[in-house]
Amino acid sequence: MNTSDVSEQNNDELSDVSSVSPLSDFVFSLFWIALGSLIMLASWQMDRLEGQGSSLYTAPGSYPGLLGGILLILGVLLAVRSFKAGGHRLGQLNLNISNIHRTSFLRVGVFLVFALIYCVGFMGRSWMPFWLATFLFVTTFIFLFNWQAITSQGRTKKILVSAISMGVGTSFLVSYVFQELFLVRLP
């Protein structure tokens, strides 16, 4: 297989990714509708702090509820658009997954595992300070998701230095903003 065959194959795979079918729009609209509804429900069930003189507009759940409502509305609009294009016909669902989609699913899965480790493993424990957990998460995340560039181009030192500097910067900036500007005590 020569270079032009590879580039044509990559272009074909990219064109498949860029054109979203009405069916996938419909399926994901159901996801956004469900997520928006759950966020709105959870925010409505939050304590409104009425006993402390808080109004409805200053309640802790008002902003998440607003975002959940926006997700719900956008999900409904996406469902209407995909329904008009025939996306509601779930019998046409094709479960064949291309290599590029398989790679994308794998990357999302790895991200979700890392995010879960960060939130539950590091942040859910009092033995690790917030700044250290954030540094480890950001540095490892950047290094891991640049692994293809590291192995194919041999840029290990450059990417490692970049990942460490971004980890330090993010850890410092987030810690500073929350503790000094928002006055939130971090673990």
- Is residue 144 within 8 A of residue 161, CB to CB? The reply is no
What tens digit of pLDDT does each residue of 77-118 get? 999 998 888 776 666 566 677 777 788 788 888 888 888 888
127: left (phi over 0), alpha (psi -120 to 50) or beta: alpha
86: left (phi over 0), alpha (psi -120 to 50) or beta: left
What tens digit of pLDDT does each residue of 137-181 get? 999 989 888 877 777 777 788 888 999 999 999 999 999 988 888
What tens digit of pLDDT does each residue of 11-61 get? 554 444 446 677 778 888 889 999 999 999 988 887 766 666 666 666 677
Q: Which helix (H) or strand (E) holds 27?
A: helix 22-45
Q: Supply the mean pLDDT for the chain.
A: 79
**Domain extent listing, the chain:** 18-94, 96-187
Distance in angstroms (rounded) separating the CA atoms of residues 49 and 42: 15
Specify the pLDDT at position 16. 47
- Is residue 134 within 8 A of residue 173, CB to CB? The reply is no
Q: CA 36 → CA 25, 89, 108, 127, distances in Å? A: 16, 23, 21, 34
Tell me the backbone φ, ψ of residue 155, rounded to 5 degrees.
-105, 40
Distance in angstroms (rounded) separating the CA atoms of residues 111 and 118: 10
- Is residue 79 within 8 A of residue 104, CB to CB? The reply is no
